[in-house]
């Protein structure tokens, strides 16, 4: 079974609008971390935001926020006021036990922001 | 500037010719890891290292070797590259393991094996 599922291969949004990128995860470990990364066309992986399984509040970082619904095992990324520079691939990832040795990635969502 | 560096950034080689991709971090991180990225598959872990002289296999270790003789360096070695190792490779590091430890990625190495 997939550990991280991103069901949207591609998303379109107009500049200045908000967009939600979906991510569901599967783990039986009570302690885990969820991460979102952005990969622009240049290829690098840029860390955006983190949510811990025990965090009481949804994470926010500037225009990025994470809609964390633990019971539903979802960790959707919300980008407010989209900009042209937000066009990129977005990956959801999880770090779980035992050992937390790796990040498990979803297959990504390609976001295209139009003027 | 805190960063993870990889060299080379681009490499075209031929089947069977040994190569090494270097990875270095200047953040005194204990944990380092290699991933490969292939279309439709996301990123998959090749090897990781919890500290100096401590390495272990990830999900796709076949055809790769690593070493961790110094804390800052974690080279990826392909002893006899094959075309199915054509991929985008990322090195990553984090302060430690644990769910809260963010992994920071290098810029990537695009490898083509002919």
The model's pLDDT over B31-63, given as tens digits with 9 standing for 90+, comes to: 999 999 998 888 999 999 999 999 999 989 999
Cα B17 from chain centroid (whole Å): 18
Nearest CB partner across the interface for A44, out of B33, B97, B107: B107
A1 pLDDT band (50/70/90 cuts)? Answer: low
Give the bridge partners for B17, in sequence order: none
For residue B54, how many other CB atoms are within 10 A of its CB? 11
With CB atoms and an 8 Å threshold, state whether A107 touches B99. no
Which residues of B, range 69-98, sit inside 8 Å of A by Cβ?
88, 90, 92, 97-98
Residue-wise pLDDT for A40-96, tens only, equals 999 999 999 999 999 999 999 999 999 999 999 999 999 999 999 999 999 999 988
Q: Which residues of A45-57 are buried (b: 16+ CB within 10 A; e: fewer)?
A: bebbbbbbbeeee
pLDDT at A98 over 80: no
Mean pLDDT of B83-102: 91
pLDDT at B109 over 90: yes
pLDDT at B104 over 70: yes
């Amino acid at each position: 079974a997939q550990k991280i599922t991103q069901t949207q291969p591609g998303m379109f949004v107009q500049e200045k609008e908000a967009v939600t990128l979906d991510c569901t995860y599967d783990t039986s470990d009570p302690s885990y971390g969820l991460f979102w990364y952005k990969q622009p066309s240049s290829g690098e992986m840029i860390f955006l935001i983190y949510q811990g399984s025990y965090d009481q509040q949804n994470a926010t970082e500037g225009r990025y926020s994470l809609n964390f619904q633990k019971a539903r095992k979802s960790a959707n990324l919300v980008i407010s006021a989209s900009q042209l520079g937000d066009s990129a691939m977005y990956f959801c990832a999880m770090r779980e036990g035992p050992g937390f040795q790796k990040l498990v990635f979803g297959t990504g969502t390609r976001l295209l922001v139009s003027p | 500037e805190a960063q993870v560096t990889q060299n080379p950034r681009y490499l075209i080689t031929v089947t069977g010719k040994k190569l090494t991709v270097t990875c270095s971090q200047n953040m005194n991180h204990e944990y380092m890891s290699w991933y490969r990225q292939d279309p439709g598959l996301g990123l998959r872990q090749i090897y990781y290292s919890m500290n100096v002289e401590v390495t272990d296999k990830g999900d796709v270790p076949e055809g790769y070797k690593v070493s961790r003789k110094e804390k800052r360096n974690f080279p990826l070695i392909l002893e006899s590259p094959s075309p199915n190792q054509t991929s985008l490779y990322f090195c990553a590091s984090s302060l430690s393991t644990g769910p809260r430890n963010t992994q920071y990625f290098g810029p990537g190495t695009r490898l083509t094996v002919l």
